[in-house]
Structure 1
Amino acid sequence: MTTSADNGQKDGQPAVHTPSVVSPQAWEAAREQLLVKEKAQTRARDALAAERRRMPWMAVETAYAFEGPAGKASLLDLFEGRRQLIVYRAFFEPGVFGWPEHACRGCSMVADQVAHVAHLNARDTTLVFVSRAPQADIARLKARMGWEMPWFTITDSFDTDFGVGEWHGTNVFYRDGDRVFRTYFINNRGDEQMGGTWNYLDITPLGRQEIWEDSPEGYPQTPPYKWWNWHDSYVEDAAPDKKWVEVSDAGEAAFRNQQASKNP
């Protein structure tokens, strides 16, 4: 027998028409039914990321200039020596609601969600924010809000040239030596998904760089789990911690055995 949860009006709030309350067995059956669709969505997302990795690139010919904490910087400098660069255009400048104490509320929500950038750096990827506010204001805002991502000042037509002059957006670039290419762009509700390490990597040309991904031949790939680390423990070109490799191997084996038992 099913019963309905208490959905009457409380504390002046309107009534909420809640789903049925069922037995544990019925709840698990409903969850398994929805899981089929969720797994299909995950596979579709992976396929879309694979298609994204095969998008054509656009050469960046203009020598864009920014101001950073250390002074003038080129677009090439923003890579910090890595191959991939993700640039989020945040609105923090005169005329933006909240200036000078705050940046745009939506852009601030995006900034609040950014995971520790060390995980992106470990995948040869740099994330930066850019705005038109002077560096002194950016430094003050970052200190107030507890944000640690690199944040540069736009000094030329970078924003209008890359579709973020009047609205926020995320551009992705790839560096091949001294040549820079634009590889992807996302804005509007697409930016809602940004912040997590995996979502950022999924919009880059190299992806997560794990062996399960469908990527063009020759793309860098390593086993999943093995490269993961505490954000204060990444060391470039260092071998994964032996103990962690053993633990992750055991976890993967247990998962495979569990899946085999479910699907004899």
Structure 2
Amino acid sequence: MQQHQIVSREQWIAARKAHLAHEKELTQARERLAEERRALPWVKVDKSYVFDGPNGKVEFGDLFKGRPQLVVQHVMFASDWDAACKSCSFWADGYERMVPHLAARDTSVVAVSLAPVAKLEAFKKRMGWSFDWVSSGSSSFNQDYGVTFSPEQIATGKPMYNFGTTRIYGPELPGISVFYRNEAGEVFHTYSCFARGLDMMNAAYQYLDLTPLGRHEEGLPYPMDWVRLRDQYEPQAAKGSCCHG
């Protein structure tokens, strides 16, 4: 952690206001980017994807639940895994309670993974999640939307992830895809993001970015090495507590 000046309240306010000007620049840039994102062209989804849900087969259009917009969380959970990816679960803990709020703005949310439904349901129960989660194991959905890769693709060493900008580092990788369904029932792919593009959807990271230590990931084997499934963290005593029992 870098050393910090200790200053008067007045000096701190002056420094904070200077930083606020930079934050406003970022806010304005983010708003321009969001407007540009909404103006992107769309691609019509011509494949008839069918998923496996807890109550049987589910067609792609049914995932919208009568709403025009659908956000798909590509959760890494291969067929032979016993649990979902810990990092994807970190994100899932964040959007778990957002579903009703998004529904109020005409947007449905669904998690999609390769693993069979029985595994999805068991892990969902373990984590206490309530969002919809379906299996794409019987379709090419994951491959078509750039989150599942074959051994042959990995062996090439070519950048194929994140629109061909990133090398594949595993058979299952994270992502988010967005779709729109019109009144005629036609479905369109409007947006996808991967890798660091997912960063802004993790509220916990945004909170950590407000703190002096930040994400505190320096020196780790890889940035998210510290992340665990929510029920696997060891209880830690608070440091510097003013309460002495």
TM over 0.5: yes
Match of 1:164 among 147, 160, 163: 147
Report the Cα offset of residue 110 of structure 1.
Answer: 1.1
Q: 2:50 is matched with which residue?
A: 65
Aligned equivalent of 1:88, options 73, 78, 81: 73
Looking at structure 1, the residues matched to 56 and 187 of structure 2 have their Cα atoms a distance apart, in angstroms, of 21
- Secondary structure of the residue that 1:193 maps to in structure 2? helix
TM-align CA RMSD:
1.5
Structure 2 partner of 1:112: 93
CA drift at 1:94: 3.5
Percent identity reads: 44
Contact map agreement 2:79 2:116 (CA 8 A) in 1? no
Contact persistence 2:175–2:193 (CA under 8 A): yes
For residues 17 and 188 of structure 1, the distance between their equivalents in structure 2, rounded to whole angstroms, comes to 28
**C-alpha separation between the residues in 2 aligned to 1:170 and 1:24?**
43
Contact 2:114–2:142 at 8 Å: present in 1 too? no
Counterparts of 1:195 and 1:72 in 2: how far apart (Å)?
Answer: 31
Instruction: Report matched runs for 1:1-264 at 5 Å.
Output: 16-95=1-80, 99-100=81-82, 102-114=83-95, 115-154=97-136, 155-166=138-149, 167-177=173-183, 178-195=185-202
Tell me how far apart the structure 2 counterparts of residues 135 and 88 of structure 1 sit (CA, whole Å). Answer: 16
TM-score normalised by the chain length of structure 2 = 0.70
Take 1:41 and 1:137, find their aligned partners in 2: how far apart are those partners?
41
Q: What CA distance in whole angstroms lies between the structure 2 residues aligned with 1:73 and 1:79?
A: 11
Q: Distance in 1 between the 2:75 and 2:24 partners?
A: 33
Report how far residue 160 of structure 1 moved: 0.6
Residue number in structure 2 paired with 1:219: none
Q: Is the 8 A contact 1:65 1:156 kept in 2?
A: yes
Q: Which runs of 5 or more structure 2 residues have no equivalent in the other structure?
A: 150-172, 207-245
Structure 1 CA distance, aligned partners of 2:186 and 2:36? Answer: 23
Q: Which one is further off, 141-150 or 55-64?
A: 141-150
CA contact (8 A) 1:110 1:192 kept: no
Asked if the contact 2:77/2:84 (under 8 Å) is kept, the reply is yes
Bigger radius of gyration: 1
TM-score normalised over the length of structure 1: 0.65
Distance 1:142 1:17 in 2: 40
Gaps of 5+ in 1: 1-15, 200-264
CA distance in 1, matches of 2:192, 2:116: 25
Cα drift, residue 189 of structure 1:
1.0
1:136 is displaced (CA, Å) by 1.5
The match for 1:202 is none
2-side partners of 1:116 and 1:148: how far apart?
11
Tell me how many residue pairs correspond in the alignment.
178
Q: Distance in 1 between matches of 2:3 and 2:128?
A: 38
| Separation in 2, partners of 1:104, 1:172 | 21
